[in-house]
A = this chain, B = another copy of it.
Amino acid sequence: MFYIIGLGLGDYKDVTVKGLEIVKQCDKVYLEAYTSVLTCGVDALEKFYGREITVADRDLVEQGADDILEGSKDHDVALLVVGDPFGATTHTDLVLRAKEKRITVQVVHNASILNAVGCCGLQLYSFGETISIPYWTETWQPDSFFPKIINNYRNNLHTLCLLDIKVKEPTLESLTKKKKEYMPPKFMSVRESSQQLIQIIEKLKESEKTLDVTEDSLCVGLARVGSESQQIAACSLRQMAELDLGGPLHSLIIPGPSLHPLETEYLKQFKI
């Protein structure tokens, strides 16, 4: 049997009772550690579960998937994922591959950032399409997500922006070498994402387009949602580009233009 178990967003105690029971009785437990991270480390998880966990990086989950699944033909194998199991395409793909191999799959759901962002008081039913903001490089500065923000805004919908994570990325220099070297992990902050958004806005201004979302637009920054050290800030995009909300993970929301009175009231407590 193959289990995919959502761990939620905060620490080791955010696993469900059902999830914990399964982890305890499985023969082998992997932790997927490249699409998201918990605020606690693997050690804390191992201590709490009283068992060993194998950290599964991108190579293992994507190229070594067959090995993981092969093991679950005769044994109980669990893959732990931060948030909810269906938060990343990789996991959907894994379930599909398991089913092709006639391996029974059980999914244990948990909170994901997609529903937990409700903690800032913006109504979940008023969110439009979710977007992802990638890290820019010197030669690659995509802005194709920006029209989606604008489209949501014009429909008076909020946009949740998921911010990039780089974990175990090989360095450019080592790509051609036999032995890969890895960059230190990095997690995009609300500050960095706001700076990139402002650069896109500046560029669009040059072509004299009228913009719905500008540096003065209200935005909401969230850090470590669901953990004890959770922080939320509501201010202009310009202010957000200067703000330090501490350690990862961060998310940014660009709210629609007219808020419900309850949303306005709730956001007040997070005003900078």
Contact = CB atoms under 8 A, between A and B. Distances in A.
A13 interface: yes
Interface string A180-198: 0000000000000000000
Interface in A145-202: 151, 155, 157
Nearest to A12: B17
Interface string A92-119: 1101100100000001011110111011
Interface stretch (A27-35, A56-64, A66-74, A83-91): A83-91
A124 B83 CA distance: 13
A12 B265 CA distance: 34
A129 B128 contact: yes
Interface in A2-43: 6, 8-10, 12-18, 20-21
Contact of A16 (B16, B83, B115): B16
A126 interface: yes
B118 A115 contact: no
A223 to B, nearest CB: 15
Contact of A115 (B14, B93, B109, B265): B109
Size range of the chain A interface in the assembly: 35 or more
Contact of A13 (B8, B17, B87, B89): B17
A142 interface: no
A130 interface: yes
Q: Output the residue of A92, A132, A266 with the most chain B CB within 10 A.
A: A92
A123 interface: yes
Given A13-B17, A93-B262, A96-B266, A107 B119 contact: yes
Contacts of A9: 109
A229 interface: no
A246 interface: no
A265 B95 CA distance: 11
B109 A121 contact: no
Interface of A: 6, 8-10, 12-18, 20-21, 83-87, 89, 92-93, 95-96, 99, 107, 109-112, 114-116, 118-119, 121, 123-132, 151, 155, 157, 225-226, 262, 265-266, 269
Given A8-B16, A112-B124, 20 more contacts: A8-B109, A8-B110, A13-B16, A13-B18, A13-B21, A16-B110, A86-B115, A86-B124, A87-B118, A92-B262, A96-B262, A96-B265, A99-B269, A109-B116, A109-B119, A115-B115, A124-B130, A125-B131, A128-B157, A129-B155
